[in-house]
Structure formats: C-alpha cells, structure tokens
Amino acid sequence: MKLILLGPPGAGKGTQAERLVKKYGIVQLSTGDMLRAAVAAGTPIGLQAKEVMDRGDLVSDDIIVKIIEDRTAEPDCANGYILDGFPRTIAQAEALEDMLAKQGTSLSAVIELQVDDEILVSRIETRARETGGARADDNVETLRKRLEVYHAQTAPLASFYEERGMLGTVDGMKSIDEVAGQIDALLAEGATA
C-alpha cells in the first residue's frame, strides 16, 4: 500500500498517518527526515544534497525523488508507505509518477482531508489560548501564510490525482475516529486504487 495524504496544515494528516502505520504495518516517510538521513549517512545522493544545502539553495525535485527512490527500496517499505511532505507540487507529482512507473508500481491511494480554513484558524487560536502559546506554530499569522502556500502550490494536486481516478476525499471536519472510518472505507472499497 502506497499512500499520499493531502490536506492543509492542521487538517489531521499526521494523526491519521500514525493510525494507518499501526493498522497496516506500513511506514511514514517524511521527505525532511529522509533528506537529513541521506546527508548523515553520506550516500552519494546525500552528498549531492549536502552540497546544494551548504550553498543555501533548495534541493531539486530530482534529488528528492532519488532520495525517495532509495528509501522506498529499503526492506521496511516492503508492505508500503505513506509519503509525508511529498509531493507538494504538480512537477513533484509527475516526477513521483515516473519513479513509480520505473519501479513497475503505482500509488494505491491519494486521500484528501477536506477542511475549512477558518475552522483551522479558530482551532489554532483556541489552542494558543489554552496552552499560552507554548507551541511555536500556534500562531494565526504563520498558519495563514502556510495555508496560502498550500492553496497556491499543493491544493492543485487534488485535481491532478482526481483526473487519474486516484483521489478519495474525506470530511476532515469530523472527529478523529470518524475521519479514520472514512479513510478505512475508501481503502477497503478500493475507490482510490
């Protein structure tokens, strides 16, 4: 099972990913974690990424896809994985599609958690009041900027995957258990495969 969870910051992707990891025996792959691990391990692609980062530049999609390709070939990915933080753009989705095609495989599902931006902002305001702003990301201005970037760059992926018949959507405004139930139903019926 190879999954992508889409949705804006604060939609509950991380919570659902944790549950899916336990339920299906798959791994959650964070592109940031994979990049840092490749650099730390000194792999050829990791050294290439380090050189780019040391210059202060952003790591190219080609390098990220190669890191994902290397990581998904490891034994713990045999049952599948959830990609976390990738793809973020149409170009990255196309590169991922090419990589999977070369491997003779494809995504099992792309699931979008649909939520209302203003509800997310309200949740952050409430959490900031309750915790006294203990978390650095409990900041409405930061969230609004992240939402703006999400809608400009990542939200178009929903249409990209819908055109390919791979997109399933769930109501991310429901309770954690209800969202989990919707995701499990989509995976069970293969509506997104």
Catalytic residues: 13, 88, 127, 135, 146
Q: In whole angstroms, how far apart are CA 46 and each of 15, 96, 113, 156?
A: 29, 18, 32, 29
Q: Please name the helix (run of DSSP H) or strand (run of DSSP E) that holds residue 169, with its range, or none.
A: strand 167-171
Integer distance in angstroms from the first to the last C-alpha of the chain? Answer: 10
| 3-class secondary-structure state, position 193 | coil
Greatest Cα-to-Cα distance within the chain, rounded to the nearest angstrom: 50
- Give the long-range contacts of residues 17-23, CB within 8 A, separation 24 or more: 17/82, 17/84, 19/180, 20/82, 20/183, 21/82, 23/184
Phi, then psi, of 42 in degrees rounded to 5:
70, 30
Q: Is the peptide bond before 44 cis (omega within 30 degrees of 0)?
A: no
Write out the two tokens for 148: 């703006």
